[in-house]
Amino acid sequence: MKTFINLYIANLKEYARDRMAVFWTMAFPILFILLFGLIFSGSIGDLNFNVGLVAGDSDPASAGVVLAFKSVPIFKVHESRDLEAERAALQRGERDMVIVVPDNLSQSIAEGKASNIEVYYDPSATTTAQAGLSIVREVLNATERRIHQTTPLFTIQSKQIQTKPLRQIDFIVPGMLAMSLMQLGLFATAQPLVALREQGVLRRLGATPLPRSTVLASQIAFRLTVGMAQAVIILGLGNLVFKVQIGDNLPLLALIVALGALLFIAIGFAIAGLANSEESAAGIGQMVNLPMMFLSGVFFPLSFLPSFIQPIASALPLTYVIDALRQVMVGSAPTNPMGTNLLLMVAWLAASAVLAVKLFKWES
């Protein structure tokens, strides 16, 4: 029994000394639960929708339906008589949906006919497509009940702003591509560089007649090649197997992928300079990886996040890579204009490169 106890205590001590084992078995599940708890603990009341409402004011029944939509607490209604202007605002990401209320509702109700209520929305915004349309249906059902009609008064005619229906896989693939670029920098760059430094390889390379800039440039070029190969594999597989759209602007898509890869490679170099060992590089990488994986819109729209977390998401570089990829690939409604995404990606790249230069070490 004494031998068993000694072995048991020795195993506990060995486990406690292995910081990565402690992180993955203890800290990682806690962080995972906290992140998902913050994201999914909110109710539907935490959501807010910018709604464009196109209707005239000459018909009493139409005015009543407009008033019903304006009374929904989570609807921020923008009234207009210009449908094209509201649809353009929807495509720019300034509206979550556009509702069109016909002017002749009173006559249709008197004749017992159902009227079409057109609802335009972006299918890539799954929260709007599910929660928003459900709220619209409930508002119209409540209006019918107040009028005490046995026959349906309204039918919802939902219209997507995209020419092709967007499936969940179309939404996920750009996010997975962006995440793979992120992990190329955080794990396939930082840890190998620290390992080369600990083994003395970087010191020996730095002592050769080769310029050190050439050595580092080769490392960057190699990882950029890997990132572009990742993109080709992910996009090719998605398109061939699942028919995922990759868009018509291939040069812009290649630019976004290259910028995203370089951005996270630069972050990886900065982490390698900051870390003293492979274990600490992995730990720092996970600390950077987790918030971006769950808060940048990889798996679900940013609108799903509670309002107090959204400013954090807006500060993460992966958010802009994902938004740019979804715009160019599937034409989803933008969170930011494409120019803003590219500008912020370049800014993150420049800042990360400066930090990497300051922190990078050739020997331990």
The Cα 73–Cα 310 span in angstroms is 20
How far is 282 from 276, CA to CA, in rounded Å? 11
3-state secondary structure 261-278: HHHHHHHHHHHHHHCCCH
Starting at the earlier edge strand, list the strands of the sheet with 75-80: 75-80, 49-54, 97-100, 115-121, 154-160
Fold of 46-160: abc type-2 transporter like fold (3.40.1710)
Per-residue pLDDT, 34: 59
Question: How high is the pLDDT of residue 272?
Answer: 92
For residue 308, the model assigns a pLDDT of: 78
pLDDT at 115: 77
Q: What is the pLDDT of residue 163?
A: 44
Backbone angles phi, psi at 49, to 5 degrees: -125, 130
pLDDT 10s digit of each residue in the chain, 364 long? 777 677 667 666 765 776 655 565 556 556 655 555 555 555 444 567 889 888 876 678 777 888 888 888 888 888 888 888 888 888 777 888 898 888 777 777 777 677 788 888 876 665 556 677 788 888 877 777 666 555 566 777 766 665 455 677 888 889 989 999 998 888 888 888 888 898 888 888 778 887 888 888 888 888 889 889 989 999 988 888 888 888 889 999 999 999 999 999 999 999 999 988 888 888 888 889 888 988 898 887 777 777 778 888 899 999 999 999 999 998 776 788 899 999 999 999 999 999 999 998 888 7
Instruction: Give the closest residue to 227 by CA, choosing from 252, 251, 255.
Output: 255
For the stretch 256-280, what's the b/e string if a residue is b when 16 or more beta carbons lie within 10 angstroms of its beta carbon?
bbebbbbbbbbbbbbbbbbbeebbb
Amino acid in the structure at residue 222: F
Predicted local distance difference test score (pLDDT) of residue 126 = 59
CA distances from 306 to 36, 45, 171, 272 (A): 11, 10, 20, 33
Could you tell me which residues come within 8 angstroms of residue 339 by beta carbon, excluding any fewer than 6 positions away?
none
Report the C-alpha gap between 24 and 354 in whole angstroms.
31
List pLDDT tens digits, range 215-249: 888 888 888 898 899 899 999 888 888 888 888 89
Sequence-distant (6+) residues with CB within 8 A of 129 are: 121, 122, 123
Both tokens of residue 262? 């370089």
**Structure letter (DSSP) for residue 303:** G
Contacts of 155 (CB under 8 A, 6+ apart): 114, 115, 116, 117
Compute the half-sphere exposure of residue 168: CA atoms within 13 Å on the CB side of its CA. 4
- The domain spans of the chain are 46-160, 168-359
Q: What is the pTM of this model?
A: 0.69
Note the pLDDT of residue 181.
93
